[in-house]
Structure 1
Amino acid sequence: MHLKRFTDFALRVLIYLSLHPGRTISINEVARAFDMSRNHLLKVINELVASEMIITYRGKTGGIQLARDPAEINVGMLVRRLEGEAPLINCSEPPCPIRPACTLNQALDEAQHAFFHQLDQYTLADLVGNKQQKLVNLLTNHVAGGAS
């Protein structure tokens, strides 16, 4: 299974915000930290707001913050929302002649179920875990290295 770039960016935004609890983060700061297009990031931000994962603040000191505690943000639920749970293959388009005897679709459905079940075991807090300072340092060094 391959996650869309949109989902990848959404997870990165949430991780970044969880590293800075209580701080309002500018969209430009997140874009610089991950070398993301600001325009693409705005689309991600809008979906995260609609999903009630983050809140936005307007104005000169505006930006974004997590709307919930990281321990309340389930990774599986978020990925389902952003990716959907459509079957991995469609045996009807075009109609597959071996469909009545083939178990590929069943195997892929089981694999997708296992994939989401595994993601359901994690929260945003789990992704950051006890590596918060290391993650902050990596991002800080990345941005500083890119600024030279």
Structure 2
Amino acid sequence: MNKTAVGAALPSDVQAPHRGILQYVLSSATGNSIMCRMNKMSIEALSRELHDKAAATGKKVVSSTVFGGNEKSLRQTLVVLCAGAQMGEHDSPKEATIYVISGRILLETPPGSWHGRAGALLIMSPGRSTITATEDSVLLLSVAMASR
């Protein structure tokens, strides 16, 4: 399939300069084409924004869904945890991962506990889990949503 750009990367929101949208057309050899939307964002810029929000509000855990939601099969959430903050015990779905972007965390699950630091990908087992930041941390939590 050939890609033909029909739009430029544009900020989707004046308040969120870390986001951009590119629309393009996918054309097949048979001549069929469909309009597609590709999004991009700066995780670093969003991390800084969430750190600022945590500092301004005094919250120890601040997050933002960067992809997906109830209408998608995948949800990815950027989470900023201040040192000592905890994402209390919660149920983990069948498939979930935590990518530690910066900092250090402790993931506790019934089978055991794992330490993760910048660059670590933790594959979560289904069931109850708790995440504790042992230092200021940024995580990308990816969760496969239940089929509807």
Specify the TM-score bucket, using the shorter chain as the normaliser.
Answer: under 0.3
Structure with the higher fraction of residues in strand conformation: 2
- Give the TM-score normalised by the residue count of structure 1: 0.26
Structure with the higher fraction of residues in helix conformation: 1
Kindly indicate whether structure 1 or structure 2 has the higher relative contact order, using CA contacts under 8 Å at least 6 residues apart.
1
- Give the TM-score normalised by the residue count of structure 2: 0.26
